[in-house]
Amino acid sequence: YQRKVHGELWFPGKPTPLVFPLLSTPNMVNIRRATVDDLPAIQNCNLNCLPENYALKYYMYHILSWPQLLYVAEDHGKVVGYVLAKMEEEATEPHGHITSLAVLRSHRKLGLATKLMRATEAAMIANFNPVYLSLHVRVSNQAAIHLYTETLGFRRRAVEEKYYADGENAYDMRLTFADRRVAAASTAATTTTPTPTTTTT
């Protein structure tokens, strides 16, 4: 007799086909600009990752005001991370601010938070040329503090007492884009470019 196993025709004596679950790798995750259609998924990611939550209209306000600055990490059509950013254009020094950054636990330690931050930083510089980028982080969130200071180059500027609704303090952090440009120029100056060679036939 014959029957189907996992969609394939099977008969006695034929090995049963094996089915493996789809495994996600960093190369399969796409970093792209967010759209309005992504907002419910971004909100859901926020609810699953952070205690600081927002109404859907707050996300809408960001994407309508600064559509260039919102990015998502997408794995096979599912939003697994996001960065929510805005501009503080009426401040004494126009600057950018990271409202929220989150990556689902299943997709952490893949460098996605760094890629999301780099994407919004580049878009911020290209579109608004801010003096610096600011953010707040819980003083107890050592993983995030390490990311911001050691990987992304932020500096602790001050402690804001009882910044969060539960009473926890926050570090006020800043990344000065002038420092980033100087570092990039220094790196470029010390990088030697191989002299192209031509082959005569």
Q: What are the pLDDT digits (tens) for 85-125? A: 999 877 778 899 999 999 999 999 999 999 999 999 999 99
Residue 178 has a pLDDT of 77
Beta strand ranges found along the chain (DSSP E): 3-5, 8-10, 29-33, 71-75, 78-88, 95-103, 132-138, 155-160, 170-176
pTM of the entire predicted model: 0.75
State the residue for tokens 């929510």.
84
- Residues 6 or more apart whose CB falls under 8 angstroms from that of 133 comprise 95, 96, 97, 98, 121, 124, 154, 174, 175, 177
> How confident is the model over 2-48, as pLDDT tens digits?
444 444 444 455 444 444 333 344 568 999 999 999 999 999 999 99
Could you tell me how far CA 13 lies from the centroid of its own chain? Answer: 50
Mean pLDDT rounded to a whole number for the chain: 82
CA-CA distance, 100 to 34, in Å (whole number)? 14
